[in-house]
Amino acid sequence: MTDKELIDIITRVARGGESEEQISRWLDTLDQVLQVPSGYCSDLIFWPMRHGLGDDPPPEQILAKARAYRPLLL
């Protein structure tokens, strides 16, 4: 997927107004495409301050944070 498509999905999820099923599918798609743990993109969108993104980050910033994800190696 292109960055434009991913930003569009992030924008739609953040805006709401869609069915819970549709939002869930979009969030699953984001997690899979960006290869992050399940629920990570949801966390970035709905609780951005937990991740140091401020109160209302633009979708581009959310995408950049998701792309920067690296798992902890133990």
| Residue 43, phi then psi, degrees to nearest 5 | -60, -45
User: In the predicted model, is pLDDT for residue 73 greater than 90?
Assistant: no
**Gap between the Cα atoms of 71 and 47, Å rounded:** 19
Contact 67, 34 (CB under 8 A): yes
**Residue 65: per-residue pLDDT:** 97
**Residue 72: per-residue pLDDT:** 84
Contact 11, 60 (CB under 8 A): no
pLDDT in tens, 7-25: 999 999 999 989 999 999 9
Cβ neighbourhood burial of 70 (10 Å; 0-12, 13-18, 19+):
exposed
**pTM of the predicted model as reported, rounded to 2 decimal places:** 0.90
